[in-house]
Amino acid sequence: MKILVINCGSSSLKYQFIDTETEAVLAKGLVERIGIDGRLKHTPAGKEAVVKEESIPDHNKAVSMVIDALTDPEHGVITDMKEIDAVGHRIVHGGEKFASSVVINDEVIAAIEECSDLAPLHNPANLIGIRACQELMPGTPMVGVFDTAFHQTMPEKAYTYGIPHEYYEKYKVRRYGFHGTSHRYVSGRVAAILGKPIEDLKIVVCHLGNGASVCAVKNGESVDTSMGLTPLEGLIMGTRSGDLDPAILQFIMNKEGLDIDGMMNVLNKKSGILGVSGISSDFREIEDAYAAGDPAAKRANDAFVYRVVKYIGAYAAAMNGIDAIAFTAGLGENNAKIRKEICEYLGYLGLKVDDEKNNVRGKEVVFTTEDSKVAALLVPTDEEMMIARDTASLVK
Ligand code: ADP
């Protein structure tokens, strides 16, 4: 089947067009600056990328440009829109309503709408993408794949916050977790690479990108993860604070005269690696500054690594041991130094890094020694492939 995978944001739309029989990516692209001015970059497999700059007032125009690009006689990969067998949509928050991917119908759309107050920036944008596709591709089946779904197996003790239970009962305030599609894909690959059934494995997946989260996967199920009600909890991220003492909010708001929106903006956009270093949210710049002896870069680097290590320790306790630790996403896939620094703390687990094997980027590898008691792996994530697979299997 040929599946169009769509990841729709408020002003952007990423897509991949995947043949699920061969798992080949036939084309991919990005529409940016929707509602501002407009730019589409379309890359057909094995060919040069094409860029189109023209007015893109709304998502309907963006989707129609994607269809035009896919069917273009020169840069296209199909001749007719009808060759798109189904569309898979990435959806950020499924609340407690979705524990797996689903075929989208009116009921599902209403349920995604209901989850919108849990992800006010993301779910409405995802819905706009769904509606635009419905309008332009009527009759083409659509599937929703949720970032939160994989974590619905978390036990109550892991998702419960230490606040009055009535807030859960009234408003469903609990931990949900995100990056679920990535954690599911990577843990599945770990089992395949190690040649063991996932049902027998205790795996920690470290998804370390701009947004970052750690997940404990026991017997193929997520039993805990570092993000919570929103993607703000957990690790120190590119610009997000991760865990902190909630009383800090009031303290800083009083000192700086901030209202709650201003404070949340600081925690989401001005904190994390950017805030701690004062240099950048991008680890490449942190590494360069660190190498040049900048103490602020070292502070950010060390605090980031230490937080990851603490979560791995917590999940070793939660699962009563670890068989494998996998690293993925921008940093996890490209930064051997960070992988090494994290693993150096894990000698107590019997984990031993093979430096030569660790010296790679972006490809699957086990980078621990033969006698290491815990396997450490680099596994490039592929959320789009997972969305395409789910979509194909649900609409078949
Ligand atoms: P996002 O969560 O936005 O998808 P990414 O997964 O792209 O983020 O991760 C961003 C981080 O990964 C940045 O800190 C960046 O330094 C690092 N990164 C991404 N690509 C590379 C690369 N090719 N080489 C080194 N670091 C990279």
Sort 255 into a burial class: Cβ within 10 Å, 0-12 / 13-18 / 19+. Answer: exposed
* pLDDT > 90: percent of the chain: 97
- Would you state the pLDDT for residue 120? 85
Report the pLDDT averaged over residues 183-199: 98
How many Å apart are CA 203 and CA 324, to the nearest integer? Answer: 5
- Would you state the pLDDT for residue 121? 82
Helices assigned H by DSSP within 57-195 = 59-71, 106-114, 123-136, 156-159, 166-171, 180-194
Pick the atom of ligand 1 nearest to 284's CA. Answer: 16
Alpha carbon of 256 to ligand 1 centroid (Å)? 32
Catalytic, 106? Answer no
Buried b (16+ CB within 10 A) or exposed e, 357-381: ebeeeeebbbbbeeebebbbbbbbb
Which two three-digit tokens encode residue 355?
């430096």
Bridge partners for 122 per DSSP: none
Does an H or E element contain 55, and which? none
358 lines ligand 1 (CB under 6 A): no
Which position among 68, 80, 147, 224 bears the catalytic label? 147
Inform me whether the pLDDT recorded for 119 exceeds 90: no
141 conformational bin, left if phi > 0, alpha if psi -120 to 50, beta if neither: beta
374 lines ligand 1 (CB under 6 A): no
Sort 315 into a burial class: Cβ within 10 Å, 0-12 / 13-18 / 19+. Answer: buried
- Would you state the pLDDT for residue 10? 85
- Would you state the pLDDT for residue 310? 98
283 lines ligand 1 (CB under 6 A): yes
327 lines ligand 1 (CB under 6 A): no
Alpha carbon of 210 to ligand 1 centroid (Å)? 7
Mutate to test the pocket of ligand 1, among 30, 269, 282, 379 (most ligand atoms within 8 A of CB): 282
- pLDDT per residue over 328-370, tens digit each? 999 999 999 999 999 999 999 999 999 999 999 999 999 999 9
Decide: 180 and 151 in contact? Cβ < 8 Å: yes
Inform me whether the pLDDT recorded for 103 exceeds 90: yes
- pLDDT per residue over 270-297, tens digit each? 999 999 999 999 999 999 999 999 999 9
Q: Is 92 helix (H, G, I), strand (E, B) or coil?
A: coil
- pLDDT per residue over 32-87, tens digit each? 999 999 999 999 999 999 999 999 999 999 999 999 999 999 999 999 999 999 99
- Would you state the pLDDT for residue 270? 97
What are the φ and ψ backbone dihedral angles of 199, each rounded to 5 degrees?
-65, -15
Torsion 322-324-327-328 (CA) sign: negative
334 lines ligand 1 (CB under 6 A): yes
282 lines ligand 1 (CB under 6 A): yes
Lowest mean pLDDT among 123-127, 232-236, 238-242: 123-127
